[in-house]
Structure 1
Amino acid sequence: MAFNTKLNNLLKSDSRFVDDDGELILAAVQDAAWKVDRNLVKLLLSDPEIKAVFFEEIEGHWIFDVNKFIDYTAQKNFLDNSYTRFKNRIGLTIGGRYLRERGEVALVWPYKDCYLEGGQTKEEEKRKEIFFNEVLAQDEINRLLDPKVLTNFKRYTANSIEPVTGFRRDENGVIRENLIIKGNNLLALHTLKTQFRGQVKLIYIDPPFNTERDSFSYNDNFRHSTWLTFLRNRLLVAYELLTDDGNIFVHIDNNESHYLKILLDEIFGRENFINEIIWHKGREGGSSRSHSTSSSMPTEYQNIFIYAKNKSMRFWNPPLGPYKVSTISRIQKDEKGWFYTRGRMGRTPAAWELKAGSGLKTYVSDRVDLDKEAVIKLLTAKDAQYVALGDVWSNDLIKNTKETNYDTAKPEGLLRIIVEAGTNPDDLVLDFFLGSGTTAAVCLKLKRRFIGIEQLEGGINTAIQRLYNVVQGKDNKGISKSVGWKGGGDFIYCELMKYNEAFMDRIQAAGSSEELVQIWREMAEGSFLNWYVNPAMHEEAVNDFIAIGKEPNGLEKQKRLLAELLDKNQLYVNLSEIDDAQFDVSEEDKALNRAFYGEWYNA
């Protein structure tokens, strides 16, 4: 068999690379190659002849030659058939397929094939965002996404705040700690990937809604295309962190919900879409203006999209809502012993398991041996009666759980429904827009493990204090009463170690031109500047800089200028540079990073 034919047939065995006509989608293949997609690499390694062409052996390790593979598949004769030539000449395709053939909508926007570091702090608002093209700036992206040095470790327990001396792991070597990480969430996610790829059972995120009402105005106001790039970069790595049976919940409002749905379809697969939850939270304060003074209608709901990593393997505990006594007369029992109600829409599986003396549970599993009268007796005897929730959730579901001591728009009762639906006790939950810490607080109270990421100073401080109160048993708000929370558990706090980010902090805190000139001098001496910036501080340049400071709002102008000089790709210290003397990483932090990363420490 000719090599071309063999390679084509092998690639076509992956359904992601084949269109409805059974033809190879070259753009999808090359996109996977640039990303060094694990499944593509495994596929290519499966054939000895193909492996010998595109892989190089180095000391017993096979290294994928991405450039060679791209060059080979880009040859005009690789797919030189009439089908491909015709489609290329006609054009109007995306990913090698006509829009009408795709059966879906594809999002295309400026910077789609780029990485956006996406700073979230007030200080970073002063600098212009940089988009790194995935093909042209691969080295820059590699540096940007390299695992980072972690520092400032603390363990919070019910009794005290203690030094971290190590990390609990399971029998497979997987870290089993509750973690709160301060730092840019894209970089923190890639740092976590080394240890937690395929380990997260549930992801819940409440990203910025890209509206003027956001509690923090992200850089560049996150104009539409920038916002999409920002979310895409983070969702791609989130996909890698999920277990094969995991779920992701993404909370949004109608400002970007339709675009987000298509973006999620592209990343998680349209076939893995589960549902869109409508949370009827009631009118927002800012939306209650009279129709005579506003051209918009009041907003009363938000959206929560649910996707599975793999729908066929998906884990799910059906969430429960109030049970209506009027439906009790329709209770029936099937051949497996499961009770259900039958309405006009046909059979609706019940979301409970009933056993004599045990009352109501939150799932269906073992066969139950009760008759209909016994079920009705149990249901009517309880104070709270529940059935499986539909896709419209009202605030009645979470009444008496909304009040907390923290400024958060997401009540603990809402997160309880989500966490219980997607996990069992001791499963791992991730929230990389942690905010005030609602997700982590609920996980503690429900005995789930969690990882939270937050960069904003106010958010991280609030979350830490809140979670410390939870482990100490001082938090009697939210769901505490309903779950009988008395305290317990612990969590570890750490930070991505600042590099140029430290200079950003100093720039924003500076009070004079003289202080800024000294910071500039230290930046230049330490080679912390962008590659295109002249490190030499000529006297004329210094004089011009000082003159700018004398203009109206001059100090702010000077700060913006210095922020632009910094290499934004080096806001944090890469793990590969942990032994570099200029970063002055303590021996204690080196030991803890070695314990956290394991084999990755010296990779």
Structure 2
Amino acid sequence: MSVRSARAEALTPLHPSATLVGAGGFKRVAKHSVVPNTDGNAVIHGDNLDVLKAIASDFHQQVRCIYIDPPYNNGENFLHYDDKQAHSKWMEHIRLRLPLLRDLLTADGSLWISIDDREVHYMRLMAEEVFGRDNFVTTIVWNHRKSRENRKVFSNNHEYILCIARDIKAFKKARNLLPASNEMLARYNNHDDDPRGPWQSVSANVQDGHATASQFYSITGPTGKVFNPPRGRCWVYNKAKMNEQIALGNIYFGKKGDGSPRIKKFLSVAKMGMAPQSLWTADEVGTTETAKRHVLSVTCGLDVFDTPKPEQLVDRIIHIATDPGDLVLDAYLGSGTTGAVAIKTGRRFIGIEAGDHAVTHCCSRLRQACGGERGGVSEAVGWTGGGGFEFFRAV
């Protein structure tokens, strides 16, 4: 069953006058769209355990990325939820949901979990129990605040995001690089006016630990100067291929032709991008405080969550883990950040939220996202509005 047909069966009424949707038992309450086809985006108001069970069959292995911001169990009481449970109850809560989340993921899909110091190690262990230890990808450290908290023993200025793959080999092949930085692009130039365009040079020799005899030889440069690989190293190509690359103009011997040979790598054929690092700074992906200001601006002054996630943070996750058109799920939708980013970046989404803020905050924010609001990642991704979503209540 395709993603689109599964979505249609699970989230679209069978008839315009129908109130129950598919076997999942959802009542469609409202529909908001800027264009006629909402592409199945949905906010579901209900307990996420019940909802995940209800959609398990129709969305089995259909979701490319799941991001969750579950209770941290940090012992605090917040305006919109209580984050104070017995450790054993918190663990049971998470354990019941992880297998359901795993089974929704595509083979190259991934689960991303926001968490802090109090339960991060238990969360990782529980995730590894379900996904397998070999499928744990990394722990990301997010610099979630810039200010200092002097009332505590330590000012905790970071949280964590755990990344776990359904199948780490498939995820490694499919995950996206981050855009190339200006510093990386500046390495490309065109000293010799090569008609193939800007290029950078890289070493033509490598460590000789696995070398063959064919990789040890002398190279004569344009000025007649002879080059041999440094001690402990060999040429990256055998002699025949090196001569071929020299003839093609792919080996650079310096401006005067008497420099050690280097390989020309052209910008036009380079796979540009950077592997994501495990440290995400506030300047790169925002802070809790910047997220609060943005959420306040798109929820008409309603009381906002104490710990919302910035769109830039979720955008980076979605960029790494998905491509446009892929399905994203957030089982703890909160203030609607994941849905807003999905809409703005051309992904499809399902958001699940149990609290009343599914209506007051999520829907209000997502309507504004569809209308082209300019906060968060809108400017960076060129968002001007469009799309839509439907709101369902579990029954």
Say whether the fold is shared (TM-score over 0.5): yes
Task: Describe the SS at the equivalent of 2:118.
Answer: coil
Q: What corresponds to 2:378 in structure 1? A: 480
Q: What corresponds to 2:128 in structure 1? A: 265
Q: What corresponds to 2:318 in structure 1? A: 419
Residue type at the aligned position of 2:156: T
Unaligned runs of 5+ in 1: 1-146, 169-175, 331-337, 347-368, 379-384, 498-603
Q: Is the contact between residue 31 and residue 390 of structure 2 (CA under 8 Å) also seen in structure 1?
A: yes
Residue 200 of structure 1 and its aligned partner are, at CA, apart by 0.5
Residue 310 of structure 1 and its aligned partner are, at CA, apart by 1.0
Rate the CA distance shift 1:221–1:340 in 2: closer, same or farther, 3 A: farther
Q: Deviations over 1:186-238 (max 9, x none)?
A: 00111111311111000000101101335358679321110010011111100
Task: Describe the SS at the equivalent of 2:187.
Answer: helix
Residue 458 of structure 1 and its aligned partner are, at CA, apart by 2.4
Residue type at the aligned position of 2:70: P
Residue 340 of structure 1 and its aligned partner are, at CA, apart by 10
Residue 150 of structure 1 and its aligned partner are, at CA, apart by 1.4
1:304 and 2:167 aligned: no
C-alpha distance in structure 1 between counterparts of 2:82 and 2:31, whole Å: 32
Q: What corresponds to 2:294 in structure 1? A: 404
Q: Deviations over 1:79-134 (max 9, x none)?
A: xxxxxxxxxxxxxxxxxxxxxxxxxxxxxxxxxxxxxxxxxxxxxxxxxxxxxxxx
Alignment match of 1:153 (pick from 29, 39, 50): 29
| Superposition pairs of residues 491-570 of structure 1, within 5 angstroms | 491-497=389-395
Q: Is the contact between residue 320 and residue 388 of structure 1 (CA under 8 Å) also seen in structure 2?
A: no
Q: Deviations over 1:283-341 (max 9, x none)?
A: 56xx6125xxx4x21101111111110112223112347454699389xxxxxxx9898
Q: What corresponds to 2:357 in structure 1? A: 458
Rate the CA distance shift 1:280–1:425 in 2: closer, same or farther, 3 A: same
C-alpha distance in structure 1 between counterparts of 2:160 and 2:108, whole Å: 23
Q: Deviations over 1:232-283 (max 9, x none)?
A: 1111100111111111101100110011111111011101011111111235
C-alpha distance in structure 2 between counterparts of 1:280 and 1:326, whole Å: 26
Q: What corresponds to 1:527 in structure 2? A: none
Q: Is the contact between residue 149 and residue 155 of structure 2 (CA under 8 Å) also seen in structure 1?
A: yes
Residue 389 of structure 1 and its aligned partner are, at CA, apart by 2.5
C-alpha distance in structure 2 between counterparts of 1:281 and 1:340, whole Å: 38
Alignment match of 2:117 (pick from 250, 254, 264): 254
Q: Is the contact between residue 136 and residue 163 of structure 2 (CA under 8 Å) also seen in structure 1?
A: yes
| Superposition pairs of residues 326-341 of structure 1, within 5 angstroms | 328=187
Task: Describe the SS at the equivalent of 1:319.
Answer: coil
C-alpha distance in structure 2 between counterparts of 1:232 and 1:448, whole Å: 28
Greater RCO (Cα-Cα under 8 Å, separation 6 or more): 2
Q: Structure 1 or 2: larger strand share?
A: 2
Q: Is the contact between residue 326 and residue 348 of structure 2 (CA under 8 Å) also seen in structure 1?
A: yes
Rate the CA distance shift 1:375–1:329 in 2: closer, same or farther, 3 A: closer
Task: Describe the SS at the equivalent of 1:274.
Answer: strand
Q: Is the contact between residue 317 and residue 422 of structure 1 (CA under 8 Å) also seen in structure 2?
A: yes
Rate the CA distance shift 1:312–1:461 in 2: closer, same or farther, 3 A: same
C-alpha distance in structure 1 between counterparts of 2:327 and 2:357, whole Å: 25
Q: Number of matched residues?
A: 293
Q: Deviations over 1:51-91 (max 9, x none)?
A: xxxxxxxxxxxxxxxxxxxxxxxxxxxxxxxxxxxxxxxxx
Rate the CA distance shift 1:305–1:341 in 2: closer, same or farther, 3 A: farther
Residue type at the aligned position of 1:461: T
C-alpha distance in structure 2 between counterparts of 1:186 and 1:456, whole Å: 14
Task: Describe the SS at the equivalent of 1:318.
Answer: coil
| Superposition pairs of residues 100-499 of structure 1, within 5 angstroms | 148-158=24-34, 177-213=40-76, 215=78, 221-283=84-146, 288-290=149-151, 294=152, 296-314=153-171, 315-320=174-179, 322-324=181-183, 328=187, 372=264, 375=267, 387-398=274-285, 402=291, 403-406=293-296, 407=304, 409-473=308-372, 475-497=373-395
Residue 151 of structure 1 and its aligned partner are, at CA, apart by 1.4
C-alpha distance in structure 1 between counterparts of 2:127 and 2:86, whole Å: 19
C-alpha distance in structure 2 between counterparts of 1:201 and 1:340, whole Å: 37
Task: Describe the SS at the equivalent of 1:190.
Answer: helix
Q: Deviations over 1:488-541 (max 9, x none)?
A: 1111111012xxxxxxxxxxxxxxxxxxxxxxxxxxxxxxxxxxxxxxxxxxxx
Q: Structure 1 or 2: larger helix share?
A: 1
Q: CA RMSD in A?
A: 3.5
Task: Describe the SS at the equivalent of 2:277.
Answer: coil
Residue 405 of structure 1 and its aligned partner are, at CA, apart by 3.6
Task: Describe the SS at the equivalent of 1:495.
Answer: strand
Q: Deviations over 1:409-458 (max 9, x none)?
A: 21111111100111111100000100010000000000000000001102
Q: Is the contact between residue 321 and residue 389 of structure 1 (CA under 8 Å) also seen in structure 2?
A: no
Task: Describe the SS at the equivalent of 1:246.
Answer: strand
Which of these two proteins has the greater Rg computed from alpha carbons?
A: 1
Equivalent pairs: percent with the same residue? 31
C-alpha distance in structure 2 between counterparts of 1:493 and 1:211, whole Å: 31
Q: Deviations over 1:550-577 (max 9, x none)?
A: xxxxxxxxxxxxxxxxxxxxxxxxxxxx
Task: Describe the SS at the equivalent of 1:456.
Answer: coil
TM-score, reference length from structure 1: 0.44
Residue 483 of structure 1 and its aligned partner are, at CA, apart by 1.2
Q: Is the contact between residue 286 and residue 310 of structure 2 (CA under 8 Å) also seen in structure 1?
A: no
